[in-house]
Homo-oligomer: A and B are copies of this chain.
Amino acid sequence: MGDGFSLHERLAADTAPVAELTLCSLRLMKDARFPWAILIPRRADIREIHQMTQADQRQLLAEITKVSAAIERDWRADKMNVAALGNMVPQLHIHVIARFEGDAAWPGPVWGAGSTEFYGEQALAETIARLNAALRAA
């Protein structure tokens, strides 16, 4: 963390911590409608994937594919959505979202669709535990 990285306050507010991976902080979006992970590389002042070193890009890719495959398998997702948008939050973060036919935004994108449904305290803890277990099994 010595290079000045600190989590953007908007990401800190909208997500809950799950695990610290080699490059990224893995967090869970606080929206119970979708199994929705966020990966944030712990690098300061990076807004685009192509601004990262090649080594960091490869590590990011490895973490994206590991998280995506783990969620797909454990939640039996119909489709994974993987996206780096960042129009609102100027800190690189990658969305990894399990989608299901007939979910609250299907087949459209999740961003801007309907209203957030917050987890209850126990459901949030259980979902974080489930995501960690899925990653360990990956």
Contacts and interface: CB of A to CB of B under 8 A. Distances in A.
Main secondary structure of the interface of A (DSSP, over half): mixed
A42 B103 CA distance: 30
B87 A47 contact: no
30 contacts: A47-B79, A48-B68, A48-B79, A49-B68, A49-B82, A50-B65, A50-B68, A50-B72, A57-B61, A58-B58, A58-B61, A61-B61, A79-B87, A81-B83, A81-B84, A81-B85, A81-B87, A82-B83, A82-B84, A83-B84, A83-B85, A87-B99, A87-B106, A87-B107, A87-B109, A88-B107, A108-B112, A109-B109, A109-B111, A109-B112
Interface of A: 47-50, 57-58, 61, 64-66, 68-69, 72, 79-88, 99, 106-109, 111-112
